[in-house]
Chain A
Amino acid sequence: MPEPAIVTEDIAKQFGDYWAVAGVDLEIGAGEIYGFLGPNGAGKSTLVRMLCTLMRPTRGRGLVAGHDVAKDPEAVRLRIGVALQDAALDDRQTGRELLDLQGRLYGLRRTERAVRVEQVLRLVDIGTAIDRQIKTYSGGMKRRLDLAAALIHDPEILFLDEPTTGLDPESRAAVWDEVRSLNQQHGTTIFLTTQYLEEADELADRVGIISKGRLVAEGTPAALKRTVGTDVIVARVESLTDRTLQALRSVPGVDEVLGTGHEVTVHAANGATVMSPVALALHGAGTSVVSLTLRTPTLDDVFLQLTGTHLQDGAEVEGAEPSAESLAPTSEGART
């Protein structure tokens, strides 16, 4: 078996009294696309900054391309490409100048730089704008240039920290295509953090779900979603009471009931069959229903089941604990 591209053992980072990353074990194979999914403040960026040598772990260790990130950062830097959360560019250079400088800093010769600039440009499709100053670029173009800069030295491992946050759907799809093509055509290992479940679902071979600095589940998107069930019924209600939750739990065929705010999520093996009984139970409990939807599970349902909150419910730093009633039994876990 080839050496894994990224290994972490109890890697952790403390800021003051706060553990941004509270001990994470990962093993990511060469050539894999690994999606690290979690809300803002869950610890994703801190983990990336440790793995790409910008930050020293407080505890534990990280190996990237076989090199220890704390003890041998120079060796790690030669093997990784990184696009951090905000496209880190210099507005007063042209795209080509930025890429050329990047190539120089990686020790590439003039001819190598010229060829690589053309190659990465073909991949990220910036067109003639490459000779314009970066301050004229749109957000999507900046992201693509940032990705190109991360690729100039043909890295074995690519870290993408929230590569599509703030992008319009079209630009997001373009970045996704580029990531897939890199992985398929060049075999680049990709470690991608995201707060968008569709992104993890679309791109990642395996997904790790992070909450409050800890890895709470890991597996292929399909396997993770199977832990929720085959179907999900979501009811938006005017007010949520214990009586509503009890009534739903007593419906035959219902596996799990989770309530947050004005929403109840019901997991079931066969959603179509339990839809009517669920509606009747809601009515019977005197619950006023705003909408009732049947759908297949998403990674957000997995996140909700594991943490009691939705992925998009905002930053985790403030530590919104899941309420007791919404806490799902997680002991059976989603870990594969």
Chain B
Amino acid sequence: MALTSSAPTTALRVQARPAGFFVDVASVARRAIRQIPREPEAVIPALIVPIFFYVLNIGALSKIAHQAGGFSFKSFELPVAVVFAVTGVSRASALVTDIQNGYFDRLMITPVRRLPLLLGLMTADLTLVMALAVPVIVVGLALGVRFHAGVLGIVVFVVLSGIWGLVFTGLPYAIALKTGNPGAVNASFILFFPITFLSTTFAPKPFLQGWLGTVANYNPMTYILLGLRSLIVGGEGIPGPAQSWNAAYLGEAVLAIAAFGAISLSLALLALRSRVRRA
């Protein structure tokens, strides 16, 4: 149909219709992904901080680890660096901004389904955290860390870390949707510390004393790190340097992520439901 500027009455008449669940998710995700490079201030620290601490920790603790436990600290610590990179990175702050400035209402007035408003953001998060894991792994490889199963091992490592990062976002999203308050979302970062540090973050389990050992037993992070380390040559729980896939460790890591996700994503979905319920 030809359109002319002089005849608006002949303008194309369109019919609004629901776009479909997956189109909704893709539309929301597309916008969120587009925002990422426009907010370098949010992404750059998420990349630099884990690499900085990785290199620092190796410098400070490698010798001690080697003498005390006879294991390679750079291999042992790489999963921690990746977990640091992927944990707590989310679009929750952007969501709060949308809620506060009314853009979320604008979206709510459209026929978009409500669940994709969250799933779209999480899709963007998953993409970002997997992208953040890669440079950290590259640094590890450059320092001499090796994976049992080669490239496939690295892929599994990235996917597992990414999914962990994704399920963790359930917490900041739950807080964002429940409170609509940027301060509360920033404070959700506090949850990062007990989850990532009350575990085998700096030493294998036999080295953890008393209460920390007990807490680490119940912290899903312990099992996630164990699974990730099992993919690395010389990592914890690996009797010899040439052991291939360890289904038990990987299975426990998946279970730990699933258990944590069941709670965090349920909280996020409940918060979404209460946010979109029309008061």
Which residues of A does B touch, CB under 8 Å?
52-56, 73-74, 77-80, 82, 84-90, 92-93, 97, 101-102, 104-108, 112, 115-116, 118-119, 122-123, 133, 149, 153-155, 181, 185-186
Q: Is B67 an interface residue (CB 8 A)?
A: no
A55 touches B17 (CB 8 A): no
Bound state CA distance, A78 and B14, in angstroms? Answer: 11
State whether A106 touches B17 (Cβ < 8 A). yes
Identity of the chain A residue whose Cβ is nearest the Cβ of B108 in the assembled complex:
A54
Which one of A84, A93, A105 lies within 8 Å of B105 (CB-CB)?
A: A84
Complexed CA–CA distance, A336 and B225 (Å):
75
Give the chain B neighbours of A93 by CB distance below 8 A. 31, 34-35
User: Residue B106 contacts which of A115, A149, A181 (CB distance < 8 angstroms)?
Assistant: A149
Known: A78-B16, A79-B16, A86-B102. A102 touches B38 (CB 8 A): no
Is B8 within 8 A of A186, CB to CB?
Answer: yes
| Interface presence of B5 (CB below 8 A) | yes
Which residues from chain A contact B108 at a C-beta distance below 8 Å? 54
Known contacts: A93-B31, A104-B19, A105-B111. The answer to whether A84 contacts B8 by CB under 8 A is no
**Inter-subunit contact A55/B16 (CB<8 Å):** no
Query: How far, in angstroms, from A74 to B278 measured CA to CA in the complex?
Result: 13
Contact indicator B278/A56 (Cβ below 8 Å): yes
- On whether the beta carbons of A105 and B278 are closer than 8 Å, the reply is no
Given the complex, which residues of A lie within 8 Å of B278, measured CB to CB? Answer: 53-56, 73
B142 within 8 A of A: no
Q: Is the CB of A154 within 8 A of B14?
A: yes
Shortest Cβ distance from A80 into B: residue: B109
Contacts of A84 in B (CB 8 A): 102, 105-106
Bound together, the chains give a CA A107 to CA B9 distance in angstroms of: 22
Please indicate the chain B residues that have their CB under 8 angstroms from the CB of A101 in the complex. 27, 30-31
Q: Mask for B104-131, Cβ within 8 A of A = 1, else 0? A: 0111111110000000000000000000
Smallest CB–CB gap between B23 and chain A, Å? 7
How long is the Cα–Cα vector from A208 to B233 in the complex, in angstroms?
76
Chain B residues near A186 (CB-CB < 8 A): 8-9, 11
A92 touches B8 (CB 8 A): no
Q: Contacts of B31 on A, CB cut-off 8 Å?
A: 90, 93, 97, 101
Partner of A88, one of B17, B18, B101, B112: B101
**Which residues from A are CB-within-8-Å of B248?**
none
* Complex CA–CA separation, A40 to B190 (angstroms): 41
A86 CB contacts on chain B under 8 angstroms: 101-102
B3 within 8 A of A: yes
Contact check, B106 vs A107: say whether CB atoms are below 8 A apart.
no
B151 at the interface (CB under 8 A from A): no
A54 to B107, CA, bound (A): 10
Q: Is the CB of A105 within 8 A of B24?
A: yes
Q: How far is the CA of A149 from the CA of B106 in the complex (A)?
A: 9
Q: Does B247 contact A (CB under 8 A)?
A: no
- Residues in B whose Cβ lies below 8 Å from that of A88: 101-103, 105-106
Query: What is the chain B residue whose CB lies nearest that of A159?
Result: B109
- Which of B20, B24, B27 has most A Cβ within 10 Å? B27
Closest chain A residue to B102 by CB distance? A88
Whether B252 sits at the interface, judged by CB under 8 Å, is no
Most buried by A among B11, B17, B20, B27: B11
- Residue from B3, B16, B98, B101 in contact with A115 in the complex, judged by beta carbons closer than 8 Å: B3
Q: How far is the CA of A101 from the CA of B30 in the complex (A)?
A: 9
How many Å lie between the Cα of A93 and that of B27 in the bound state?
A: 13
When C-beta atoms are compared, the residue in chain A nearest to B20 turns out to be A107
Would you list the 7 A-B pairs with minimal beta carbon distance, nearest first?
A: A88-B102, A107-B17, A153-B16, A107-B19, A105-B110, A106-B16, A104-B27
